Chains A and B, each alone.
Chain A
Amino acid sequence: MADLAIRIGKIKFKNPVMTASGTFGFGPEFDDFIDVSRIGAVLVKGITGSERQGNPYPRMAETASGMLNTVGLQNKGIDYFVEKIYPEIIKYDTEIIVNVNGGTIEEYCMVAEKCNKLERINAIELNISCPNVTQGGMIFGTHCPSTIAVTDAVRKSFNKTLIVKLSPNVTDIVEFAQAVEGCGADAVSLINTLLGMAIDAKTHRSKLSTITGGLSGPAVKPIALRMVWQVANAVKIPVIGIGGIMNTNDAIEFFLAGASAVQIGTANFINPAVTIEIIDGINRYLNNKGFSSIHNLIGALEV
């Protein structure tokens, strides 16, 4: 058994495989299929200060090797999470990370402060990269001064491990990664979805209610890998790689590019057991290669 443990901020994770926010519900949705406690960390669905209905149907369109979504952060708000969901999911013997969202800096801070008080929440992921909301979201993640303002403020509201999730919808993602590192973020995760479109040629309409949406799945993997590689070479804090990971090999590629951990998103929809298969697959891969630890792989790209 190779050593899969990694450290991010103040946390030691038992393995480097996490779920990507918005693709795994809160965890119980997967109880019938897998032992959720075996996953390195569960990132729950994005949460805002108060309840949001999200965007109208239709919210998804399948595309070549991927999908577009425009869920728009439908959730019941942080208080509902604290009262109803948190008590249920602390049954899992693993890290639970809240994906924090807001329309204003105050809202982000309010959610972060409430998470700060929860004993079993050791980390939050600041989502400044949701492309599907008109207020906040990606606006904070694609304009560097706003990125700094929100990260600074949330850093002051939350004293445990802070991960900032970056948007790929920028010219130079490195600039944003360095900016949040400068604000005291403990790690960056990337990428969120890429802004895209799908049009129905028969009806002359967009396939999504909001016209544009976020692209995920294997179609985005080459871009995600390139961005992880660029960012890992430019910051000292750990990088969590996300984007189109469908199997063990995909995950290995992200470690080689410099990711210390990976998040699995869209793949959960097609194979609800994929996270566990990837954890076991990484272990087998390391054993076959004669590596004792995941650290033998991280950033080991030969150039």
Chain B
Amino acid sequence: MKKRIEDLKILENKRLNEEFFVLKLKSDQTFEKILPGQFAEVRVDGSPTTFLRRPISIYDVDYDENTLYLLFKIAGDGTLKISELKAGENLNLVYPLGNSFTVGNVKRVLLIGGGTGVAPMLILGKYLKNEFKITPEFLLGYRSKELIIEKDKFNSLGTVYITTEDGSEGHKGLVTHHPVLQENNEDIDQIYCCGPEPMMKAVSGIAKDNNIPCEVSMENLMGCGIGACLCCVVDTYDEGNVITCTQGPVFNSNRLKWQI
């Protein structure tokens, strides 16, 4: 849909656990269509050290209520300020931005998320289920049990595998250690992944070794989110530096040179 700049009303700013928050935002207008993988650039008012907007993925959309959800954690001053916002206040968004995950002729799909990277996986899971009648399998990685995000929402869409680093729930270790990725992966047609860069790199490696197509969602630093500043580039084999905020954030992982 067309991008817009809009003040949305905060209906709820809920702390899920020690680390994660969910914002529920209401628009006065209807949403035509928000695609999985798209994000919003959030303006942070009243934080003197936060000058630019902050990119946050769209976590969920309710087209009947005209509400959308953002999942975030406190990373610094900007997200700290967002965490302090109260119901009834407004939040200014530029949205929806970026491309989206693509769905080909696939049957078995694995959606891998780590930390706030689980955000685009929820909306993607819903999209796969509602528009393609595909039951998604989620592989979600957390540090420990207490940090697990809205389990019911994911469970209602498909199978959920959990890994925790301390072993307090699910499989102990990182997502890349989980059997679904290591052993039972023969008939996986597509992997989608969002999380910290080392995790996405490792997952892409496994996907490549097993000839499974893999799409990742990059979290590059962004100046504008709309293709105007060229600050957010990612280096690719086929096209050199491409603009993450408009030609991404979702990329076929084989295109990426994975710098750093």
Residues of A within 8 A of B (CB): 22-25, 29-30, 32-33, 45, 53-54, 56-60, 62-67, 69, 71, 74, 217-218, 268-273
Contact = CB atoms under 8 A, between A and B. Distances in A.
A57 B197 CA distance: 14
Contacts of A59: 221, 230-233
Chain B interface size band reads 20 to 34
B224 A269 contact: yes
Given A56-B259, A57-B233, A60-B221, 4 more contacts: A23-B228, A63-B51, A66-B51, A269-B225
Contacts of A62: 50-52
Given A217-B51, A270-B53, A32 B233 contact: no
B4 A33 contact: yes
B227 A29 contact: yes
A141 B112 CA distance: 50
B110 to A, nearest CB: 28
Given A33-B3, A67-B51, A67-B52, A57 B230 contact: no
A99 B101 CA distance: 35
A54 B241 contact: yes
B108 interface: no
Interface centre among B94, B227, B229, B235 (most CB of A within 10 A): B229
Interface of B: 2-5, 43, 48-53, 94, 220-221, 223-235, 240-241, 246, 259
Contact of A60 (B4, B43, B229): B229
B234 to A, nearest CB: 7
B221 A58 contact: yes
Contacts of B5: 33, 271-273
Contacts of B228: 23-25, 29-30, 268-269, 272
B240 A53 contact: yes
A154 to B, nearest CB: 24
Given A65-B51, A74-B241, A270-B53, A54 B230 contact: yes
22 contacts: A22-B230, A33-B3, A57-B234, A57-B241, A57-B259, A59-B221, A59-B230, A60-B223, A62-B50, A62-B51, A62-B52, A65-B51, A66-B51, A67-B51, A67-B223, A69-B223, A74-B241, A217-B51, A268-B224, A268-B228, A269-B229, A272-B94
A71 B227 CA distance: 13
B183 to A, nearest CB: 35
A26 to B, nearest CB: 9
B2 A57 contact: no
Contacts of A23: 228-229
A22 B226 CA distance: 13
Given A33-B3, A53-B241, A71 B226 contact: no
B233 A74 contact: yes
B233 A270 contact: no
Given A57-B259, A74-B241, A69 B229 contact: yes
Interface pairs A-B: 8 shortest CB-CB: A269-B224, A60-B231, A32-B3, A59-B231, A29-B227, A25-B228, A71-B230, A32-B2
Contact of A25 (B227, B231, B235): B227
Nearest to A219: B51
A74 B52 contact: no
Contacts of B221: 57-60
A64 B223 contact: no
B235 A74 contact: no
Contacts of A63: 51
A12 B2 CA distance: 33
A32 B224 CA distance: 14
A139 B241 CA distance: 25
Contacts of B2: 32
A87 B229 CA distance: 22
Interface centre among A22, A58, A217 (most CB of B within 10 A): A58
Contacts of A32: 2-4
Nearest to A73: B230
A57 B51 CA distance: 20
A71 B229 contact: yes
B50 to A, nearest CB: 8
B5 to A, nearest CB: 6
Nearest to A66: B51
A24 B240 CA distance: 21
A56 B52 contact: no
A273 B43 CA distance: 14
A69 B227 contact: no
Interface centre among B50, B94, B220, B231 (most CB of A within 10 A): B231
B229 A270 contact: no
Nearest to A25: B228
Contacts of B53: 269-270
Contacts of A273: 5
Contacts of B52: 62, 67, 269-270
A57 B235 contact: yes
